[in-house]
């Protein structure tokens, strides 16, 4: 497993000791027993380690990672931090602890007094705010860093205050119309924050879940961009939608089961503009279903990623497997690394 982890026996000892002291880590449990045969093999682990080296090499001196157009610093940094956490790397734990700490410090520096998370590099939408809030929630949940909590709470409060009458969110941090792609990020962010003990009104989550469900196309099992959207359902928004329902506890909802089947039917590379973003959510969604569904999904996505990985010395990276390659190698490498690392079971959000 990735450097920085200790054996199960020592982990149990630490848990017992920590139960008698102030808790520091809220660590994910082991993956479901039915999925024990879905593991990270030696060859895949080598690729994962190489990809973490690549991401570390691409980090800016001030701690951020950036997009192809040299903006969206906060959002891309959040995705990269999710990759490191998926591999068990934290600011105070693991081979890449210093890298993660620098990224965390940068993300915290992007937190504005009103709660909005954005860098001055030109980004200004709730997509970036959502994923940044998710990353901070996962960091706080696993480290209990007191520097994170107040800024995370303000980020959560901003999300709550921007929810519209339908229960959803749109691009800008204000009450407006809504779409499912922005909404699901806020739902996951709220759930992640609630999981680690922050104040999140349950009514806000309930209304958001109602909005997400309203976007389901019951004929196909997929999810539309907005309710009654004539353009039909899509892969990425379906993946994000069913994942958001699962993190809210709706694991066995028929919409989740039907959405999972929709994803299998629409799994493509280089034919979709949103393959990378979509699979960031599709993989944990299928993992939460578990059993043969997860085994089949990982058995499909892992060979696809391994077959397309690039190597530069001891570093591994990916170019985006999207039709228009609208995202850069850093984003693709972060997302694909996160997917490959899911069997480790480290991210709290990827557990029931």
| Residue 60 C-beta-side C-alpha neighbours within 13 Å | 16
* Cα–Cα distance measured from residue 276 to residue 332, given in angstroms and rounded to the nearest whole number: 6
Compute how many other C-beta atoms are within 10 angstroms of the C-beta atom of residue 92.
14
* Cα–Cα distance measured from residue 115 to residue 109, given in angstroms and rounded to the nearest whole number: 12
> What is the DSSP secondary structure assignment for residue 322, as one 8-state letter?
S
pLDDT at 9: 32
pLDDT at residue 36 tops 70: no
Mean pLDDT of 152-171: 97
How do residues 178-232 score in pLDDT, each as one tens digit?
999 999 999 999 999 999 999 999 999 999 999 999 999 999 999 999 998 888 9
pLDDT at residue 124 tops 70: no
Average pLDDT over the chain, rounded to an integer: 89
Compute how many other C-beta atoms are within 10 angstroms of the C-beta atom of residue 250.
16
Question: Which one is predicted more confidently, 70 or 331?
Answer: 331
- Hey, CA dihedral for 191, 194, 199, 205, is it positive or negative? positive
Q: What predicted TM-score, i.e. pTM, was given to this entire model?
A: 0.89
CATH number (3.40.50.300, 3.40.50.970, 1.10.540.10, 1.50.10.20) of 8-350 reads 1.50.10.20
pLDDT at 152: 99
Residue (of 234, 185, 199) closest to 82 by Cα position: 185
pLDDT at residue 43 tops 60: yes
Domain range summary for the chain, segments of one domain joined by +: 8-350
pLDDT at residue 24 tops 60: no
DSSP string, 303-321: HHHHHH-EEETTEEE----
């Amino acid at each position: 497993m990735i450097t920085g982890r200790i054996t199960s026996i020592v982990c149990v000892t630490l848990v017992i000791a920590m139960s008698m002291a102030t808790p520091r880590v809220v660590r994910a449990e082991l993956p479901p027993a039915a999925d024990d045969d879905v593991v990270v093999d030696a060859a895949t682990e080598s690729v994962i380690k190489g990809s973490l080296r690549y991401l570390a090499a691409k980090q800016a001196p001030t701690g951020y990672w950036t997009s192809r157009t040299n903006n969206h610093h906060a959002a891309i940094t959040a995705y990269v931090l999710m990759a490191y956490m998926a591999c068990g790397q934290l600011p105070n734990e693991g081979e890449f602890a210093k890298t993660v700490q620098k990224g965390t410090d940068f993300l915290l520096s992007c937190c504005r007094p009103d709660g909005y998370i954005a860098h001055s590099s030109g980004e200004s939408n709730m997509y970036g705010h959502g994923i940044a809030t998710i990353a901070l929630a996962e960091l706080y949940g696993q480290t209990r860093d007191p520097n994170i909590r107040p800024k995370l709470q303000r980020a959560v409060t901003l999300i709550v205050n921007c929810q519209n009458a339908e229960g959803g969110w749109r691009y800008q941090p204000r009450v407006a119309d809504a779409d499912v792609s922005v909404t699901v990020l806020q739902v996951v962010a709220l759930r992640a924050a609630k999981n680690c003990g922050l104040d999140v009104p349950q009514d806000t989550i309930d209304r958001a879940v109602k909005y997400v469900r309203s976007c389901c196309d019951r004929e196909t099992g997929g999810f539309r961009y907005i309710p009654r959207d004539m353009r039909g359902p899509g892969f990425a928004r379906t993946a994000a939608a069913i994942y958001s329902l699962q993190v809210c506890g709706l694991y066995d909802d028929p919409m989740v089961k039907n959405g999972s089947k929709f994803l299998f039917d629409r799994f493509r590379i280089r034919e979709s503009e949103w393959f990378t973003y979509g699979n960031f959510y599709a993989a944990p969604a299928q993992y939460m279903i578990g059993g043969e569904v997860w085994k089949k999904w990982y058995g499909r996505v892992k060979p696809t990623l391994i077959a397309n990985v690039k190597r530069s010395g001891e570093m591994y990276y990916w170019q985006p497997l999207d039709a228009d390659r609208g995202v850069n190698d850093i984003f693709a490498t972060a997302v694909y690394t996160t997917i490959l690392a899911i069997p480790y079971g480290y991210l709290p959000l990827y557990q029931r």
